[in-house]
A = this chain, B = another copy of it.
Amino acid sequence: MVRLREFDEEKALDAAMQLFWEKGYEATSLSNLTSKMGIQRPSIYSAFGDKKQLFEAALRKYTASHASYVRAKLQNHSSVREAFRSYFEGLVEEEYEGGPNRGCFCINTMVEVAPHDEKFEILTREHQMYLSVVFQETIERGIQSGELKNSISAKVLAQTLVVSLIGLTVVMKSRPERSFVDNSVSVILSLFNTSKPREQNDE
């Protein structure tokens, strides 16, 4: 049957993702979207549904890509401590290279949309939980190899690293002096040296 789609759905979704990432949900209009995606309004609606559904598809694309980026980054070093150091410092470096200060799409959504829309509360939470698990597994790898003390609770440390990561990403949106974030990163990384955060209540 019939006429086939003339545009690349993945490329169009990617353009939408970039736009929502940079401007957020409310501030991005359908006119913005059509021009950046290079397709007309009815094509968006037929391919992705309404604005909220398109936003969801864009966010899912982001989280999937971000998750695999983080996984790769952490597996890239044999030393676990080095892996996290490289990840955190790279994050800071990237944000201070100038450029448009987009931060993390998922975190932006957590702040702007999650409190008013349960679907996005769940979506963003699940991504953070996934990151936490990836961190935890990486830390456990370090414990098993003997690099890290086994007195460290991998899970609790991983959770704290996720919180710290979010804090760093958000604070950089106000472009503080670089020493501010650098100092924080070094303290956060020092958590790998200290003995054990005691686990509290956990399922």
Across the interface, name the chain B residue whose C-beta is closest to A102.
B115
For A177, list chain B residues within 8 Å (CB).
203
Q: Indicate with 1 or 0, residue by residue over A68-100, a CB within 8 angstroms of chain B CB atoms.
A: 000000000000000000000000000000001
Complex partner residue of A159 from B23, B132, B160, B183, CB under 8 angstroms: B183
Which listed residue (B100, B101, B167, B175) contacts A163, Cβ 8 A? B167
Stretch at the interface among A5-13, A50-58, A184-192: A184-192
User: Nearest residue in B to A123 (C-beta to C-beta)?
Assistant: B174
Contact partners of A179 in chain B: CB under 8 A: 200-203
- Closest Cβ neighbor of A120 among chain B residues: B174
* Contact among B102, B115, B163 for A184, CB-based, below 8 A: B163
Q: Is the interface of A mostly helix, strand, loop or mixed?
A: helix
Is A111 a contact partner of B191 (Cβ separation < 8 A)?
A: no
Contact B115 A112 (CB under 8 A): no
A161-178 interface bits toward B, Cβ cutoff 8 Å, 1 = contact, 0 = none? 011111110110111111
Contact A168 B167 (CB under 8 A): yes
Which one of B128, B174, B197 lies within 8 Å of A124 (CB-CB)? B174
Known: A107-B111, A160-B184. A121 touches B171 (CB 8 A): no
For the complex, give the distance between the alpha carbons of A166 and B199 in Å: 22
Instruction: Report the minimum CB–CB distance from A133 to chain B (whole Å).
Output: 12
Interface residues of A (CB under 8 A from B): 23-24, 26-27, 100-103, 107-108, 110-112, 114-116, 121-122, 124-125, 128-129, 132, 155-157, 159-160, 162-168, 170-171, 173-184, 186-188, 190-191, 194, 197-203
**Can you give 6 A-B contacts (C-beta < 8 A)?**
A103-B111, A108-B111, A112-B112, A160-B188, A187-B191, A190-B194
Given contacts A121-B173, A159-B183, 7 further A-B contacts (CB under 8 A): A100-B115, A107-B111, A121-B174, A122-B174, A163-B188, A182-B200, A186-B200
